[in-house]
Structure 1
């Protein structure tokens, strides 16, 4: 029986491990911290293919320069000399055109359309975790703010997705925590959501129940190529396998760059916290103008936001939490924002072209899976499925063909 080592116990790494098991592999998953310790834990948990779209779009040319000087803006970056960051931003902004948006959307659409079915496959395979249906509530303070979001949805539909939307007569009908500042709202159908931390823990449990080994507190410092590649650990020990998968999120370049994966991967850090609401939150809420994504979470309401371009290991900056609170406290009611819990920052792996990195490196038997940006949760199971097929058969499924990590 062949065996594989997967580096990274987030949803992408664990999905790959699960699907390798489906194909008869013995699997070991290594993570320096633990299951869902990175960006898989505190995100909004959205399974929303209709919103799984390119991050870089023409509106950035208007929004970006203003955001740099607005401490409460959703986009944030340090003012310091950082050549890698500025190189990434330059390439990211070059993608902010209609043509580039359409090209990237065309590449993302096939995996978007496979995303929900991949979650259903986990459910049928015994992953014991709840997947909840929408609708999503999309809110705006005024009509003018809705134009950009409606244009994005129209773009997703133009590329073949379904995204049924209807106008709500009363924004508070499905989202009672909205204040009167929110005058315009839509309901978006056909999407799903999960509680991401518990879901990934359930996926890890399934991997273990099927004979997989998950080891936490293990830092991989190097991946050595060969007919049987090996991972080198921080204690200088060496472990071989038939196949190695690098699924380390925003840290992916540290292990993969040596093997031809030269696309920049920048940590686009997101923040979140949970609060109580006077009336129970039942549906996801999105406030596009403020880039704020909210989800029911274990009886509370998770509020997530911010795209902060910093190094992945930097600490949580309380000022970014304050920026979300400053906006949310004006747009929501019936919430005591002083009683926040679960404050979190996670480093999402963003590529300049908005396209993931999935496939074989220059070294035989060494693969990568990452670079999903904000969409790692929704695209993780489908990524694992098609990467496992490539590892097992040598055939690249058309869904992941545009995501060549050597591009």
Structure 2
């Protein structure tokens, strides 16, 4: 039996491990903290292929400069001397054109179409959790605020996805949390949501129950390969395997750069917290103009937002939570934004061109799986399935061909 070491116990790493097991591979999973310890824990839990789109668009050229001057803006870039960060931002901004958006969307669409059925495959295969269909409620203060979102939906449909979408006349039946300030509301169907941490934990338990070894509390400091890959741990131990998968999210460059993966992975840190609601809120709510995503979570209401370009290891910034509060205070009713629980920060791995990094490195039998930006949760199971196929057969599925990590 062949053996693979998967570095990283988030959604992407665990889905890859699960599908390798499906193909008869013995798996060891290593994570420096534990299952779902990174951006898999506190995100909004949206399984929305219809919203899995390029992060950079033409609106970046007007929104970006304003955001630099607005401390409450969803996009936050610290003013500092950081050549690497500013180089990344220049390349990221260069993709904010209609042509680049269409090119990236065309590359994402094939895996978007596989995303939900890959969740069903995990659930049918014994992962003890759930996903739930929407609808998603999309709210705006003014009709003009909706133009960018409507353009995105049109683009997704143009590229071949089915995205049921309609204007709501009585939105508070679905979203009693919305205040009267929200005057234009839409319903988005064909998408799902879930509770991300419990799902990823259930996936991790399933992988272990199927025979995987899980090592936590130890960090992988080096991955090398000549004839067989070797993983070096922070305790000095060296482990060999037939193949290695690096799925460490925003920390991927620490291990992958010397293996020929030159595309910069920048941490785009998101923040979230939960609040109680006076009336039950059963459906996800999205405020595109404020860039705020909200989801029912364990009897409460999770509010998530912001894109903060900092190092993944920098401390939690309470000012980012206050920025989210400032954006949503007038948009919601029946919640106490001063009574927050589960305050969290997670680092999403963003690439300049908006495409993931999935596939073989220059080192023999060493692979990477990451760089999904905000879409690691929804694309994780499909990524794991298709990468497991590549590792065990050598075949590269067309849906991940554009994600070549050596591009």
Fold conserved between structures, TM > 0.5: yes
Answering whether residue 336 of structure 2 is matched by residue 342 of structure 1, we say: no
C-alpha contact 1:171 1:183 (8 A) present in aligned 2 = no
C-alpha distance in 1 between matches for 2:38 and 2:303: 17
C-alpha distance in 2 between matches for 1:404 and 1:248: 17
Answering whether residue 377 of structure 2 is matched by residue 368 of structure 1, we say: no
What is aligned with 2:195? 195
Secondary structure class of the residue paired with 1:307: strand
What is aligned with 1:256? 256
C-alpha distance in 1 between matches for 2:334 and 2:315: 30
Shift of 1:203: 0.2
Q: Deviations over 1:40-81 (max 9, x none)?
A: 000000000000000000000000000011011000011000
Q: Deviations over 1:97-146 (max 9, x none)?
A: 00000000000000000000100100110111010110000000010001
Secondary structure class of the residue paired with 2:348: strand
RMSD of Structure 2 on Structure 1 (CA):
0.6
C-alpha distance in 2 between matches for 1:340 and 1:391: 44
C-alpha distance in 2 between matches for 1:314 and 1:330: 31
Secondary structure class of the residue paired with 1:203: helix
What is aligned with 2:161? 161
C-alpha distance in 2 between matches for 1:67 and 1:10: 30
The 10-residue stretch of structure 1 (153-162 or 322-331) with the greater mean CA deviation from structure 2: 322-331
What is aligned with 1:186? 186
* 5+ residue gaps, structure 2: none
C-alpha distance in 2 between matches for 1:330 and 1:129: 35
What is aligned with 1:40? 40
* 5+ residue gaps, structure 1: none
Secondary structure class of the residue paired with 1:111: helix
C-alpha contact 1:171 1:182 (8 A) present in aligned 2 = no
Structure 1 runs of 4+ with >3 Å offset: none
What is aligned with 1:286? 286
What is aligned with 1:387? 387
Counterparts of 1:90-101 in structure 2, within 5 Å, are: 90-101=90-101
Shift of 1:171: 2.6
Shift of 1:236: 1.5
Shift of 1:364: 1.0
C-alpha distance in 1 between matches for 2:192 and 2:215: 30
Answering whether residue 226 of structure 2 is matched by residue 215 of structure 1, we say: no
C-alpha contact 1:261 1:361 (8 A) present in aligned 2 = yes
Counterparts of 1:3-402 in structure 2, within 5 Å, are: 3-402=3-402
C-alpha distance in 2 between matches for 1:78 and 1:277: 33
C-alpha contact 2:228 2:364 (8 A) present in aligned 1 = no
Length-normalised TM-score, structure 1? 0.99
Q: Deviations over 1:354-393 (max 9, x none)?
A: 0000000011110000000000000000000000000000
C-alpha distance in 1 between matches for 2:336 and 2:313: 30
C-alpha distance in 2 between matches for 1:173 and 1:315: 40
Q: Deviations over 1:178-236 (max 9, x none)?
A: 11110000000000001000000000011011001111111000002122211101122
C-alpha distance in 1 between matches for 2:227 and 2:369: 21
C-alpha contact 1:277 1:335 (8 A) present in aligned 2 = yes
Shift of 1:170: 2.1
C-alpha contact 1:268 1:350 (8 A) present in aligned 2 = yes
Secondary structure class of the residue paired with 1:347: strand
C-alpha distance in 1 between matches for 2:327 and 2:371: 29
Secondary structure class of the residue paired with 2:274: strand
What is aligned with 1:405? 405
C-alpha contact 1:23 1:392 (8 A) present in aligned 2 = yes
C-alpha contact 1:135 1:284 (8 A) present in aligned 2 = yes
Secondary structure class of the residue paired with 1:290: coil
C-alpha distance in 2 between matches for 1:78 and 1:166: 38
C-alpha distance in 2 between matches for 1:115 and 1:225: 32
Length-normalised TM-score, structure 2? 0.99
C-alpha distance in 2 between matches for 1:116 and 1:242: 30
C-alpha distance in 1 between matches for 2:181 and 2:73: 18
Shift of 1:327: 1.6
Shift of 1:173: 1.9
C-alpha distance in 2 between matches for 1:158 and 1:26: 42
C-alpha contact 2:224 2:363 (8 A) present in aligned 1 = no
Q: Deviations over 1:277-322 (max 9, x none)?
A: 0011100000000000000000000000000000011111000000
C-alpha distance in 1 between matches for 2:121 and 2:115: 10
C-alpha contact 1:275 1:302 (8 A) present in aligned 2 = yes
